[in-house]
Structure 1
């Protein structure tokens, strides 16, 4: 499947029914388009099974609650919609995108309580998010923007509005020949990439930022448990930017990114070492088991 995402063959689940891909549209006065009132999940299906599917559905509902936007579907109903899309399109390996948003209604200002909360599920076949970076290591820029304080927005929600600085930062990174960008948070601590959590290795131990101002990714949690099961010490802690020079290996985690090695952040270089490759291979086996 190629070309514009609005002009493809296939089926999309929308508000309780499967519709033709090209007919899955919303009105120009949809509240989410004007005020970013939407939350979403990105998931991957391997061999006919969506990895950590119910956890993603539960997080979608929680994100809606955090944005004062109750989603009118249960976990079981969301699960059924996801698998209906995969079956309708004949896919066993695909990326699945579930999105819920405030639609058009009686409100067209900041408030939107009178507008319905709608939901859609789309899927498409998608390869490696960072291309050949899985083999050679991604190159990251350092973003000029910072992840916001949880006092300014619910940072635990996977909300569309939180991604605007991600888009700008990734555009800036790509203009420099990089795959992605690394954010610091509002305090100046190392935070995450634009759509992935980050891990570092030093002296055989793993270090990763505390997710107190970033999304505690489902893949992140999976990798931490995997490392602990392997007997590897994991430090969830504050990481300062000046520490980057002392780390030996680095990788990103996320549903789209899976486990992607990092070879460079700014002027700092990292080896695509044995532990990084072992984690990537172990994750690949896990999601396909």
Structure 2
């Protein structure tokens, strides 16, 4: 499948019904368009099975609750919708996007309690998020934007509005020839990339930022589990940017990114080393098991 995302053949599940792709539309006065009242999930289906699909559906509902929304579909119903969409499109390997939002209704202002909460599930066939970076290592810029204080945002929610600075950071990175950007947090510690968590290696141990002001990704949690099964020490902690000079390897994790080695972050360089390559293989084997 190729072409603009609003002009494709296929089916999208919306509010309980499969809708032809080009007809899956919302009104211009949809509350989410004006006030960012939207949450979403990114998932991958491998060989007909969505990896950690139930966990993603649970997080979608939890994210909505954190934004004071209640999704009127259960986890089981959301799971059924995903597979209905995949079957209708004839996909066994695909990226899956579930999104819930406040629609158009009786309210059009900051408050919108009378507006319906809607749900859609779409998908598309998607290869490596960072192109050939799994072999060569991704090139990252360092963003001028920081992950905010958790007292200012619902940092445990996968909410659309929280990605505004991610889009700006990634655009700035791409303008410099990079594929992504690393963001610090509001205290100046290393946080995450625009859509992926980050890991570093030093002296055989792994170090990763403590997710106390950004999303604790499901892929992040999976990779930590894989590392510990291999007997590799994992330190979840606050990491100063200056420490990157002493790290030997680095990789990103996320549903889209999967496990992607990093060759450079700003002026800091890393080897696409044995452990990074092993984690690429281990994660691939797990999701396709």
- Per the normalisation by structure 2, the TM-score is 1.00
1:156 paired residue number: 156
Residues in 1 aligned to 2:194 and 2:131: alpha-carbon distance in whole angstroms: 16
Aligned to 2:229: 229
Alignment partner of 1:174 is 2:174: yes
**What is the DSSP-based 3-state SS (H/G/I as helix, E as strand, rest coil) of the residue aligned with 2:200?**
strand
1:74 is matched with which residue?
A: 74
Q: 2:240 corresponds to which residue?
A: 240
Instruction: Please report the RMSD computed on the Cα atoms of aligned residues, expressed in angstroms.
Output: 0.3
Superposition map of 1:39-188 within 5 A: 39-188=39-188
Matched length: 289
1:198 alignment partner in structure 2: 198
- Distance (whole Å) between structure 2 residues aligned to residue 214 and residue 246 of structure 1: 24
State how far apart, in whole Å, the 2-side matches of 1:132 and 1:270 are.
16
Distance 1:179 1:26 in 2: 31
- Work out the CA distance in 2 between the residues paired with 1:150 and 1:69: 19
Question: Could you tell me how far apart the structure 1 residues matched to 2:218 and 2:149 are?
Answer: 21
Measured after TM superposition, the shift of residue 125 of structure 1 is 0.2
Output the TM-score relative to the length of structure 1: 1.00
Report deviation, 1:212.
0.4
Rounded to whole Å, the distance in 1 between the matches of 2:73 and 2:99 is 12
* Secondary structure, counterpart of 1:87 in structure 2: helix
CA distance in 2, matches of 1:186, 1:255: 25
Shift in Å at residue 239 of structure 1?
A: 0.2
* Runs of 4+ displaced beyond 2 Å: none
Name 1:280's counterpart in structure 2: 280
Gaps of 5+ in 2: none
Q: Deviations over 1:103-138 (max 9, x none)?
A: 000110000101000000000000000001111000
Partner residue, 1:25: 25
Separation in structure 2 between the aligned mates of residue 113 and residue 180 of structure 1, nearest angstrom: 37
Aligned mates of 1:70, 1:206 — CA distance in 2: 38
Shift of 1:259: 0.1
